[in-house]
Amino acid sequence: MMDSLLPRLALLALLALLPAAASPADDKLAARENEFYRITTFEVPKDVVLEAGAFQWMSDGRLAVSSRRGEIWMIRDPLAPQVKASQFSRFAHGLHEVLGLAEKEGWLYVTQRDDVSRIKDTNGDGVADVFEVVNDDWGISGDYHEYAFGSKFDRVGNLWVVLCLTGSFSSEVPYRGWCVRITPDGTLIPTTSGVRSPGGIGFDADGEPFYTDNQGPWNGTCGLKHLTPGRFVGHPGGWKWYDLPAAAAALGKRPTEPESGGRMIVEREKVPELEPAAILFPYAKMGQSASGVACDLSGGKFGPFQKQMFVGDQTFSTVMRCFLEKVNGVYQGACFPFREGFGSGTVPVEFGPSGAMFVGGTNRGWGSRGTKPFSIERLDWTGKTPFEIHEMRARSDGFELTFTQPVDAKTAGDTASYTMKTHTYIYQSSYGSPEVDPTTATIESATVGADGKSVRLRIQSLQRGHVHTLTAPGVKSAAGEPLLHAEAYYTLNEVPVAEAP
């Protein structure tokens, strides 16, 4: 039976890689976005193929960028108005697809396909001359799919690494399909099972770890997922490694096998360890290949979105914005379009201390809307605040919206200014899922808050376990401006308890 499925699965996988073409409307939106967040493209040295995999802002003000081809480059003065090829110098080469960088005590830690290593320039010539393996306790079989994405250091000095499965369905070597932690002394701790195909990993403003996983088996669409020690995030393909002594000691026995073909909300009742995605990115609407993760901790230097998460999409060559909250002990929240028009397929996303966002791109083997084979770019806030939905919070009877600017009370208080539909996905072992179980939500009232920047939407029949798609094309600011992005997608894992009257 599996042999008969292979041609269809191969076709589905190929189609999933093909990016939807940009339209004239997309170009117009990108021009509007440019008024608020401006892209500066770096000039990469001639004949250098720099397919960006990770960034690290160095303590001396340089920006380190790794390549999928195993090199690390340093960029001098990365905040210059125009960054020239002469500002690049190669720091290291001969590594294996570096998809994580972190600096500590003079060492640059690199997460590559087969290990976490650390490297250092000891003689000051600008080139790494010491290479040390920190941990290589996970396996590689040689399969193309076995990427390894590494985090920055957490609050206690650990690095978190999310390991792709050997393929979409299986795990042929230890800990493929897992998140592991590497402690300061180099010990590997098995942490979370259920990983499929990560695209990036990072921490929120509270230091909590999140990673992106991509559409495929047991993943109806791409999502942003919280990593909790001892939990299971959806794909059981790597469960054989629960039998290893280190995994058994850290996590105990394997969970109950989820049933294919149902709904995540139902399986959560059967599998207590199962943790749903905090945010689901509707496929072909918000992107097709979720990637890098970064949190704005600039204190306002990047505009009005302090402490929010930003997530790349490799296929659409975009960066999305995410608002997270915790309801009944479970993470959930909304994603919003933020910025499109990057030169290649977005992979790493990182903030510098000035508030600038650095975005790296590559499209080899994957395809992207951005037509360049690779790119290094910087995104700067122009100082002008866009009119946007700032936050979207769940309430027991609907949602509360806040905006980046005061709203026009007439349009914001009119239910006709909004529409809402919901859908969910099949939780299944086959590849991806269509949108299923659609509903149209009735917006009963829209009440503008006394602050003039919030609106309470009362919704008939919230759907637990569904993505709630809000469009608000009719809402205007007090100055008469429409929303820069009128869409929001809220993943409602839990409905809050009713507030006290």
With 90 as the cut, is the pLDDT of residue 8 above it?
no
Q: Tell me how far apart the alpha carbons of residues 491 and 324 are, in angstroms, rounded to a whole number.
A: 10
Same domain, 408 and 371: no
Residue type, 37: Y
Phi, psi (degrees; rounded to nearest 5) at 210: -135, 150
With 90 as the cut, is the pLDDT of residue 406 above it?
yes
Last residue of a domain, one of 381, 398, 413: 381
Same domain, 448 and 482: yes
Identify the domain containing residue 393 by its residue range.
389-492
Q: Tell me how far apart the alpha carbons of residues 412 and 471 are, in angstroms, rounded to a whole number.
A: 12
Tokens of 93: 């080469």
Q: Tell me how far apart the alpha carbons of residues 99 and 104 are, in angstroms, rounded to a whole number.
A: 17
27 in any annotated domain: no
| Cα angle 351-199-150, degrees, rounded to a multiple of 5 | 65
19 in any annotated domain: no
Q: For the chain, give the mean pLDDT.
A: 95
Scan for tokens 């769940």, then name that residue: 394
Same domain, 398 and 450: yes
Q: Sheet of 159-163: strands edge to edge? A: 148-153, 159-163, 178-182, 188-193
CATH number of the domain within which 84 lies: 2.120.10.30
With 50 as the cut, is the pLDDT of residue 9 above it?
no
With 80 as the cut, is the pLDDT of residue 25 above it?
no
Rg of the chain taking only CA atoms, in angstroms:
22
17 in any annotated domain: no
14 in any annotated domain: no
Domain count along the chain: 2
325 in any annotated domain: yes
498 in any annotated domain: no
15 in any annotated domain: no
Same domain, 362 and 399: no
Same domain, 326 and 440: no
3-state secondary structure of 93: coil
454 in any annotated domain: yes
Same domain, 367 and 436: no
Same domain, 286 and 264: yes
Same domain, 347 and 471: no
Same domain, 351 and 453: no
Same domain, 463 and 426: yes
Last residue of a domain, one of 331, 362, 381: 381
What integer pLDDT is reported at residue 499 of this predicted model?
A: 78
Number of residues written out for the chain: 501
- DSSP-derived letter for residue 250 is H
With 80 as the cut, is the pLDDT of residue 11 above it?
no
Same domain, 366 and 412: no
Last residue of a domain, one of 381, 413, 436: 381
Q: Average pLDDT, stretch 185-202?
A: 98
Q: Tell me how far apart the alpha carbons of residues 179 and 352 are, in angstroms, rounded to a whole number.
A: 26
3-state secondary structure of 441: coil
Same domain, 460 and 323: no
CATH number of the domain within which 454 lies: 2.60.40.1220
pLDDT tens readout for residues 139-189: 999 999 999 999 999 999 999 999 999 988 999 999 999 999 999 999 999
